[in-house]
Structures are given as structure tokens and as C-alpha cells.
Amino acid sequence: MPGCVEIIAHRGARSLAPENTLAAARLAHKLGAHRWETDAVLTRDGHLVLFHDETLTRCTNAAQVFGYDSKAPEKTVWPGPGAIDRLDSHPLIDLQLLDAGGWFEQKDPYATVPEIAPHILAAFKEEPIPTLYDGLVLTKELDWRINLELKDHGNEPEPNFHPARVLRELARSGIAPARVTLSSFKHDWLRFLRQHAPGYEIQALVGDRDEEPLNFNDPVFTSAEFEVLNINALLVTLSDIRALKAAGKRINLFTVNTLHDYIRLVNAGVDGLFTDFPQRFISPV
């Protein structure tokens, strides 16, 4: 369905493919999404991979590969510190053993599996956890755009290690800065990125917890520091959106999955929508 706002595929086309995999990204591109959003997190040995959760069980076969009880992973002995189910308990070489796609057919998280061809579902079983470099190179090859969220799981070995590593991988990939948006709930990281790489667009994420109302007196809303805000759609009203737009902010909302919400938010003047269902809001190419 064509629209006047940017359609951002949340973790790729995650309603039709396993989230944060290259398969989900390729599908979102095929569907015609304007860009894809994904999460960059640190492994135990300081590499960056594309994964959302702190723990591995929901979106991989880690319990089987590492031999732990998914309900009590802390009881399993495995090389490395911390709970065995935590992604940051593992070096990259461990994570490369995992299947990050086979769970999708089994769990059918969006009740879409019957719509997907069997050979496509079978191919998901070979999907690995991608590195950030993998995701950037794919985006570059597709002549596309990426919204990269820097996600903090509390395992940074030193201040600003995470954003500095992101900048290194961006440079190594050769992707043009105009194709990359950098976002985070950790606004100090965004300040670091702006200082060290002013060529990249910065977007401040707001509203990490659904149950905590937003404070519209916070400087993130009232100051000019962050021009673009990515806000939890559950925490804003249409009048909030109009007020922020009148104050000169660009507003993207996450996560919007219904046609009803799409129409009312577009009418309120939002600039972009993160969605698990890009196929609902934009015509395939």
C-alpha cells in the first residue's frame, strides 16, 4: 500500500522471516520497504552481531547446541562467564554454530507460516546470526538503507567501545553514510557518534518501557539536540505528535502493525513507521 511516510521494516520483514537475519532483510527489500531496522549488540569477545534479545533461546537453537535447559540455563556449565543463555556469554565463534532461523516455522510468531512456500521455510533453517558487517554489506549490495539501533546489554568493556566498534565496521564495509541511520536509547552514545562521525543521521529512541509514560518536559523533546525522535507508539497521542511536529521534530513511531493505526498516524503527520508487516503498507516492487 503506497504511503507518504517512510516504511521501516522492523528487524527486517520479521512477520514473514526470522527476525534480524539476512533473509528477513532481503525479503523486506523485495517487498519495497524504504529501509530495514536491526539491532547491533556485542559478543563476549567484542564483535558486533545483529540480534535483539539479551538471551538466545527465543530466536535460536542454543539450548540444543550448547546443551542447556532453556528454563534454567544458569545451571549449565559452558566455557565463559555468565548465564549460558546470554548472548554476551559467548564469543562470536560460538554464536556462529547456531541456527537463527529454524525456530520461525515451529513457533509461527505471526501466524503467517501457512502463507510461506515450503522451500523458503526450509531455507530459514540455515540462517546464522549475522554480523554487523554482513548486514552492512548486504544493505550496500542492495543499494538500500539501514536503521541501525545500538543496543546496550551492559557488557561494554570500556566507555563508548560499542559505538566506536560500530564506526569501525561502517568504515570497513564501505557503505555510504547517506544509507545509514544510527539510533539508540542510550543518548550518550548518539552524542559520541555525532562528535566522531557527523556524516551519519542520528535518531534518538524514546519510550523503551511500555508501562512508563513519557515526560514531554525532558530535554530530548524540548531541546534542539535531536531533530529526529523514534518514539514508542503506545505512549503518544495524536495531539502529542502534532505538537512535536509543530516544534520542528521529525517523528518515527514503533511498532505499528495495523491499517487502522497506519491511517490515523499518517493523518497526524508522522514521518516514518517501524512495522513488522511492511507487506501491509507498501506495494511490492
pLDDT band at 265 (very low <50, low <70, confident <90, very high): very high
Given this model, what pLDDT does residue 84 score? 85
pLDDT band at 69 (very low <50, low <70, confident <90, very high): confident
pTM equals 0.94
Q: What gap in Å lies between CA 253 and CA 237, rounded to an integer? A: 11
**Which residues does residue 147 pair with via DSSP β-bridges, in sequence order?**
37, 181
Cα–Cα separations (whole angstroms), residue 81 to 34, 45, 46, 55, 74: 40, 11, 14, 14, 10
- pLDDT for 46-59, tens place per residue? 999 999 999 999 99
136 grid coordinates: 552492512
Judged against a pLDDT cut of 70, whether residue 259 lies above it is answered with yes
CB 63 within 8 A of CB 73: yes
CB 202 within 8 A of CB 195: no
Given this model, what pLDDT does residue 176 score? 98
- The separation between CA 56 and the C-alpha centre of its own chain, rounded to angstroms, equals 16
What average pLDDT is seen over the chain? 94
Q: In this structure, how many other beta carbons lie within 10 angstroms of the beta carbon of residue 277? A: 23
Residues 6+ apart with CB under 8 A from 131: 47, 48, 49, 50, 92
- Please give the average per-residue pLDDT across 127-142, as a whole number: 98
215 vs 77 pLDDT, higher one: 215
Q: What gap in Å lies between CA 143 and CA 141, rounded to an integer? A: 5
- Please give the average per-residue pLDDT across 254-265, as a whole number: 97
Could you tell me the domains of the chain?
Answer: 6-53+129-281 (3.20.20.190)
Q: In this structure, how many other beta carbons lie within 10 angstroms of the beta carbon of residue 140? A: 16
- pLDDT for 88-125, tens place per residue? 999 999 999 999 999 999 999 999 999 999 999 999 99
Q: What is the DSSP string of 94-136?
A: HHTTS-SSTHHHHH-TTS-GGGS-HHHHHHHTTPPPPBHHHHH
252 grid coordinates: 518515527
Given this model, what pLDDT does residue 78 score? 62
Judged against a pLDDT cut of 70, whether residue 82 lies above it is answered with no
- pLDDT for 147-177, tens place per residue? 999 999 999 999 999 999 999 999 999 999 9
Q: What gap in Å lies between CA 88 and CA 81, rounded to an integer? A: 9
Judged against a pLDDT cut of 70, whether residue 81 lies above it is answered with no
